[in-house]
């Protein structure tokens, strides 16, 4: 069954306090599909924030981008499963063994706890990294960023990872190499009526959907809007149009 437009919106809780975050969750739980807790809020409020949001009827994408030795990331994955988050992410650059170990650990832990496993997403090449930085600093030469993104997405998929977080411009290539069941989550979304802010290469919600995104991480266009519920409604209308 096709996903409802509302379910596709992941609201980025990029705010400075737990209270502010929970106020937003109360206001927006009926208008979006999930909430993203990133390094700022997680480190400020602690892991209990996940339970608080769940208790208010929201699902949580924990965006901490784990990158460490396989055993450590697998352990973090068990903790994420215990927290009952909806999604969390890891760096594909951690390698195939790390990806496999975390995928296995999450399945085992979910079985033990008798609950649905969180979806694990891979981050490939950060969208802040240019071709030149990839070559000169990471010493990955002879390939375009797009080729590395596609290869690492495929490696993640083969390792049991559920999907990726990627820039809207990478959606098509990842869809082509990983197929329709692989989850694609994309930030950098700006409805036509909102300000771009510091995001450079943006797409509208509709464009992201047409490129093949499953979920969209959206922050400021909603939380900085005069009426966030109305802003989310406009985005849902656009997705349903």
Catalytic residues: 65
Give the contact letters, 209-238, x = binds to ligand C5P (CB under 6 A), - = no.
--------xxxxx-----------------
CB closer to ligand C5P, 217 vs 234: 217
- Give residue 215's region: left, alpha or beta (phi > 0; psi -120 to 50): beta
SS3 115: coil
CA 35/CA 129 separation, integer angstroms: 25
| Residue of the chain from 12, 73, 106, 110 that contacts ligand C5P (CB under 6 A) | 12
14 lines the binding site for ligand C5P (CB under 6 A): yes
Rg (CA), the chain: 17
22 is a contact residue toward ligand C5P (CB under 6 A): no
Is residue 146 at the binding interface for ligand C5P, with CB under 6 A as the rule?
no
State yes or no: residue 194 binds ligand C5P (CB under 6 A).
Answer: no
Considering only CA atoms, which of 87, 151, 83, 74 is closest in space to residue 120?
87
HSE, side-chain direction, 13 A CA sphere, residue 133: 6
- Site membership for ligand C5P, residue 62 (CB under 6 A): no
Q: Is 199 in the site for ligand C5P (CB under 6 A)?
A: yes
Give Cα 233 distance to the centre of its chain.
21
- Residues in contact with ligand C5P by CB under 6 A are 12, 14, 38, 127, 167, 187-188, 199, 217-221
């Amino acid at each position: 069954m096709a996903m409802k437009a509302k379910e596709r919106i992941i609201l980025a809780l990029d705010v400075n306090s737990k209270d502010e975050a929970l106020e937003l969750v109360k206001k927006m739980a009926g208008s979006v599909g999930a909430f993203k807790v990133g390094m700022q809020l997680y480190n400020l409020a602690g892991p209990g924030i996940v339970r608080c949001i769940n208790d208010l009827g929201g699902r949580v994408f924990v965006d901490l981008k784990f990158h460490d030795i396989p055993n450590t990331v697998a352990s973090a994955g068990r903790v994420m499963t215990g927290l009952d988050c909806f999604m969390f992410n890891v760096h594909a650059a951690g390698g195939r063994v790390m990806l496999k170990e975390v995928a296995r650990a999450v399945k085992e832990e979910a079985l033990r706890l008798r609950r649905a496993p969180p979806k694990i997403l891979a981050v490939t090449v950060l969208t802040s990294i240019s071709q030149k930085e990839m070559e000169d600093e990471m010493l990955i030469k002879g390939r375009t960023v797009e080729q590395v993104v596609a290869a690492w997405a495929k490696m993640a998929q083969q390792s049991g990872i559920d999907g990726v977080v990627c820039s809207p411009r990478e959606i098509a290539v990842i869809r082509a190499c990983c197929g329709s069941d692989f989850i694609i989550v994309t930030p950098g979304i700006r409805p036509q009526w909102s300000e771009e802010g510091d995001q450079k290469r943006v797409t509208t919600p509709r464009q992201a959907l047409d490129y093949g995104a499953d979920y969209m991480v959206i922050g400021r266009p909603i939380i900085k809007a005069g009426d966030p519920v109305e802003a989310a409604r406009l985005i849902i209308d656009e997705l349903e149009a």
